[in-house]
Structures are given as structure tokens and as C-alpha cells.
Amino acid sequence: MAYTQNNPFKLVKKKDCGCGSSCSCSSPVKKKGDAPSHKKSLGYYNEAKPTGVGAAAGGGMSEKGTAKYRRDNPGSKLQTAVTKKPSEMDPDSKDAKRRKSFCARSKGWTSERGRAARRRWNC
């Protein structure tokens, strides 16, 4: 006869609700690919076009779109793209550091919209 041990400390897996903590939320959480971008659907972004530069090319939020987003979301600190050329900026300025950070983050953006955004930021 084989010996079987009853474990008093059973490992119970909790259902992952996606809120980041191990809780038992009952709220349905949507995955990233379930719906279109909220900002895109509300019309904050420029249209991406294969030609042109800056806002004409699309690839980001226009100043008008940013202003609308700030109105719709009070307390938002959203900023527009740093469109000034790197040669015209002080390399130690906040804008130069923000631009450098964005360019490093977005190196893999190869879609039409991504290329337009990188062109707008002078990456």
C-alpha cells in the first residue's frame, strides 16, 4: 500500500484580473488589442500621410489635439513633440533630453505612422 501525504498548505492560484496586484477583482479588464486607441478614436491625432514633414505628415498629436486632450482630461501634463532641430537646441536643455529619449525609445517604429512621428521629432 502506497503512502499519500495530505498537504495542509494547498497552493491555490488566484485568477489574474490584470490590475497589477493579486486581488480578486470582478471587473472585466480589456487586453491591449481589444479596442482601438482611445486617443485615436476621439480625433486627437494627425492623419499619417506618406509625404510631408511635421504635422502635415501625421505621426503624433497636433497642438490642437493636445489642447483638446488637456481640456478633456483636467490635470494632464501631456506635451507636444519637440520639433525644433537638434542643431538649434542647447544639448543640456529639457527639450533636447526629451527628444533624445523619444528617439531612443522609438527606434523600432517601422510603420507609416511611426516613421512619420520619428520624422516629426527629427530622429
Distance CA 23, CA 16 (A): 8
Question: How confident is the model over 24-44, as a mean pLDDT?
Answer: 55
Tell me the whole-structure pTM to 2 decimals: 0.55
pLDDT digits (tens, 9 = 90+) for 74-112: 998 988 889 899 999 999 999 999 999 999 999 999 988
SS3 96: helix
- Domain extents in the chain: 38-120
pLDDT at 62 over 60: yes
Q: How far is CA 80 from CA 15, 31, 60, 115, in A?
A: 39, 27, 8, 17
- Do the beta carbons of residue 19 and residue 25 sit within 8 Å? yes
- Do the beta carbons of residue 48 and residue 58 sit within 8 Å? yes
Sign of CA pseudo-dihedral 118, 113, 69, 102: negative
Report pLDDT for 58: 64
